[in-house]
Structure 1
């Protein structure tokens, strides 16, 4: 079986396993998506470990104190809120694949405290500033602000904390670094010997690329990884090395997409039935495409409007959403059912998105 087929089947089996294991708790499910209507912590504790490749989620901000968002006004202090979010961090680390990623939206007021907490469990790689520009011709609420009444700079932007699982044992707390050292040591090879076998010499140290990989400074290409696997197996490695897609955290950007840590995706314009914290599909799809492979599982434990789930389907991923408010679960269900009615270009059983689905109404085809 080709590698890509093996990965596809692996992810599909993992998704079906979650669906069967948590069947009694499911609000709605189809072959690509699952919705749970429950407190997110209740469901997260039931999800098998190392199931999700990406956690893309938008928790209550706490600092905004919005009455129309569940739990946004539930905490009497910042510390109480951070303690609650740490319960999620513990479950996220267990559920996330070792080469997975997290995007967590938050307010500028809480970003520093959240980043400090998350750094106990994850390598925080970036804190992204989403500037939320208005579309041409749409003034939005920024123009209505009475600037003279302000006592500090108005928080027009939002933050997105981007991180990966951290495993102690090397300089950068890299999962792959630890795995490579473990397998190399099991074969009684020095870093210099493995370097010679794969021809990955460094310009400064004799350990070359192997030393850098094991410290977590950088990662091998797929070609280099295949050489590593072949070299270790030739030296008697008992168990085969995992597939590249199960080891290396994907990160794919280019000059045609947002590649800096300042993002300019326009916010979602008001419409009847809009979720108060709805995020634009284009931005969510950018997160998903950049950090996952097709068929991976994308998890949103504060699903809200369901835009993360729709974005995952548009990019041919499996997806799981958890939402405590039944009203929004029903709204997500309708969006997913609308998606299922779209014309398809049958690719591995996935619907190929041809409609916009930005709102909860039936999509307008391109």
Structure 2
């Protein structure tokens, strides 16, 4: 683009002169950055003739320009592909927050508490609540960490939603009991 624009500006050649010399209305496509297009070989020869008549020249051959253009076009294609790959990688690294009709986001979540049963952990969370949190904030196959595993209800929700699970429990007896429920 600069090659054409600088040559035009150096000789003060008008768009009208360029369009008349080539029999086209393509000056804005050849001599500006808007909708840029490489002229055909015939059009380029017409431009060279015009520039020589104004005591100037377009010294590069059309073949050289085509080669240069193709190299730049290929580099641009590689950059676009690299950008798309980096963008996909970035999207996969970001913590998702999926809100759908099935997993709506509001400021208040209402879930029925876990009813008493023999062996119930005192702080056990409802499975629906845990599934809601996990589904809205992780992708399938992701690893979910519960640093206060208790009875393992987060782990059970992860298994139901195709997530991996890492649980930590400080109380050895509760840890052993929970691990045994996953084995059985």
| TM superposition score normalised by structure 2 | 0.52
Deviation at 1:331, TM superposition (A): 1.8
How is 1:1-366 mapped onto 2 (pairs within 5 angstroms)?
A: 233-234=78-79, 241=86, 243-338=89-184
Q: Which runs of 5+ in 1 are unaligned?
A: 1-230, 339-366
With over 3 angstroms needed to count, the CA separation of the structure-2 counterparts of 1:234 and 1:310, relative to structure 1, is same
Deviation at 1:248, TM superposition (A): 3.2
Contact 1:249-1:291 at 8 Å conserved across structures? yes
Contact 1:310-1:335 at 8 Å conserved across structures? no
Higher RCO structure (Cα 8 Å, ≥6 apart): 1
SS of the residue 1:246 aligns to: helix
Q: Over residues 63-92 of structure 1, what are the superposed CA-to-partner deviations in whole Å (9 max), with x where a residue is unaligned?
A: xxxxxxxxxxxxxxxxxxxxxxxxxxxxxx
Contact 1:309-1:321 at 8 Å conserved across structures? yes
Deviation at 1:235, TM superposition (A): 6.6
With over 3 angstroms needed to count, the CA separation of the structure-2 counterparts of 1:244 and 1:276, relative to structure 1, is same
SS of the residue 1:304 aligns to: coil
Q: Matched residue pairs, number?
A: 108
Q: Which runs of 5+ in 2 are unaligned?
A: 1-75
Kindly indicate which of the two structures has a greater share of residues assigned to helix: 2
- Distance in structure 2 (CA, Å) of the matches to 1:235 and 1:316: 33
- Distance in structure 2 (CA, Å) of the matches to 1:256 and 1:317: 18
